[in-house]
């Protein structure tokens, strides 16, 4: 492929998650002779569903909008456009995970030290658990720097650790350090609000049950140090949280 020019657009995460504002897929427009190629790059270590669309009428091959699932790290040409269509903005939305995955009924291990937590918000918590992606989530109140443990084995899809600010301002919702772990049934565990530099795994790592994967903090939209844990699936172009069971030292946590 001979490229005369290229530019990059930031892909949008199609459904909000705690702290998952970083683009998960890049869209690059590459000129090849009299055509533009819309090339998508999956930056996650797991499957991502992408939808490419245009804000106006533009002739593309194949026609827009179009949907495709990209494998971990996959780079693919999604569509071809005429060169004079370059002024028509394209939008690429990306949702982590295989569409319509079904989470198995698995009992999750407590993802923090057993003697060091207090149960905060549970399912449908009024402070920040009202959206579809976080409706079924739990906040475990812990001290800053408490070890965060893998509640189930899997592969790290995403690891974000560069944020330092946190507070009760909703504008910080996309600035939480987090880890996203892909399970063998296609479901994904989200561990969020980790402290700055508090991520000890990298995307692509395999983690085992009980392994230390990070340290708790209060980055992003957070009223204090805690671990936000949610089990999510790709519901078809949107992240959906699903109910789960979690066991602690005194039995199952009262999440509902």
Residue 156, token pair as written in the block = 């790290």
- Alpha carbon distance 64, 13 (integer Å): 19
SS3 assignment, position 10: strand
Residue ranges of the domains in the chain? Answer: 6-96, 107-252
Q: What is the DSSP string of 124-176?
A: T-TTT--STTTSSEEEEE--TTPEEE-SS-EEEEEEE-----EES-GGGTT--
Superfamily of domain 107-252: Glucose Permease (Domain IIA) (2.70.70.10)
Tens digit of each residue's pLDDT (9 = 90 or more) over 231-256: 999 999 999 999 999 999 989 999 87
Tens digit of each residue's pLDDT (9 = 90 or more) over 207-235: 999 999 999 998 876 778 999 999 999 99
Tens digit of each residue's pLDDT (9 = 90 or more) over 140-176: 999 999 999 999 999 999 999 887 766 566 665 666 8
CATH of 6-96, one of 1.10.3470, 2.60.40, 2.40.10, 3.20.16: 2.60.40
Residue 44, token pair as written in the block = 């996650």
Tens digit of each residue's pLDDT (9 = 90 or more) over 91-123: 999 999 999 999 999 999 999 988 779 988 878
- Please indicate whether residue 33 or residue 240 has the higher confidence score (pLDDT): 240
Tens digit of each residue's pLDDT (9 = 90 or more) over 70-83: 999 999 999 998 88
Report in angstroms the alpha-carbon separations of 5 from 2, 32, 34. Answer: 9, 9, 12
Name the band, by pLDDT with cuts 50, 70 and 90, for residue 7.
very low
Report in angstroms the alpha-carbon separations of 252 from 98, 222, 232, 244. Answer: 29, 25, 20, 11
- Please indicate whether residue 205 or residue 131 has the higher confidence score (pLDDT): 205
The pLDDT score that the predictor gives to residue 24 is: 81
């Amino acid at each position: 492929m001979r490229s005369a020019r290229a530019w990059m657009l930031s892909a949008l995460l199609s459904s909000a998650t705690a702290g998952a504002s970083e683009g998960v897929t890049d869209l690059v427009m590459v000129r090849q002779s009299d055509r533009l190629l819309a090339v998508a790059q999956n930056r996650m270590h797991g499957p991502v569903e992408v939808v490419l669309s245009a804000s106006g009428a533009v002739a593309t091959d194949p026609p827009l909008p179009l949907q495709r699932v990209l494998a971990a790290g996959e780079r693919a040409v999604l569509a071809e456009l005429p060169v004079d269509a370059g002024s028509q903005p394209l939008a690429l939305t990306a949702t982590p995970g295989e569409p319509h995955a079904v989470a198995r009924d698995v009992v999750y291990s407590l993802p923090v030290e057993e003697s060091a937590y207090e149960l905060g918000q549970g399912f449908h918590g009024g402070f920040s658990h009202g959206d579809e992606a976080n409706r079924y989530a739990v906040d475990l109140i812990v001290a800053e720097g408490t070890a965060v443990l893998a509640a189930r084995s899997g592969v790290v899809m995403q690891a974000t650790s560069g944020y330092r600010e946190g507070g009760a301002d909703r504008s910080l919702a996309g600035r939480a350090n987090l880890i996203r772990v892909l399970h063998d049934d296609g479901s994904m565990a989200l561990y969020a609000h980790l402290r700055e530099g508090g991520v000890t795994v990298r995307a692509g790592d395999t983690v085992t049950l009980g392994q230390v994967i990070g340290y708790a903090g209060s980055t992003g939209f957070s009223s204090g140090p805690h671990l936000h844990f949610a089990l999510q699936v790709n519901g078809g172009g949107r992240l959906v949280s699903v109910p789960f069971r979690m066991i602690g030292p005194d039995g199952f946590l009262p999440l509902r």
